[in-house]
Amino acid sequence: MAITKKDIVLKISSETGIKQIDVKRVVQNALDKITEYLAAGQTVELRNFGIFKIKSRRGRLGRNPRTGEEVPVPPKKVVVFKPGLIMKRDVK
């Protein structure tokens, strides 16, 4: 089962005593800012957690699995995440 944003908000709220609505607002604002910076082409580094950055993928020729026909896949930008040292250590 996946952990949702709501689960995170509930956990933070219960551990800190801060109202859920306030925690939700802060969590959502943080995620919005990360997205905003990535959209502007910037790297977001969260110490001991990890680094989010944009990587460009070149265009290539793909294949339609139903027909086997070659189709061009255009270049695109994707978000990549590199975990920090503490995350690497704790998630095994």
pLDDT digits (tens, 9 = 90+) for 20-29: 999 999 999 9
CB 41 within 8 Å of CB 79: no
Residues 5-16: what's their mean pLDDT?
Answer: 97
Residue with tokens 């255009």: 74
Longest dimension (CA), the chain: 58
pLDDT of residue 7: 97
Where in the chain are the domains?
Answer: 1-42, 43-92
Q: Other C-beta atoms within 10 Å of 10: how many?
A: 14
Superfamily of domain 1-42: IHF-like DNA-binding proteins (4.10.520.10)
Domains 1-42 and 43-92 share a fold: yes
Residues 6+ apart with CB under 8 A from 14: none
Neighbour-count burial for 35-52, b at 16+ CB within 10 Å, e otherwise: eeebeeeeebeeeeebeb
30-71 pLDDT per residue, tens: 999 999 999 999 999 999 899 999 999 999 999 999 999 999
Q: For the whole model, what pTM was predicted?
A: 0.80
43-92 fold: HU Protein; Chain A (4.10.520)
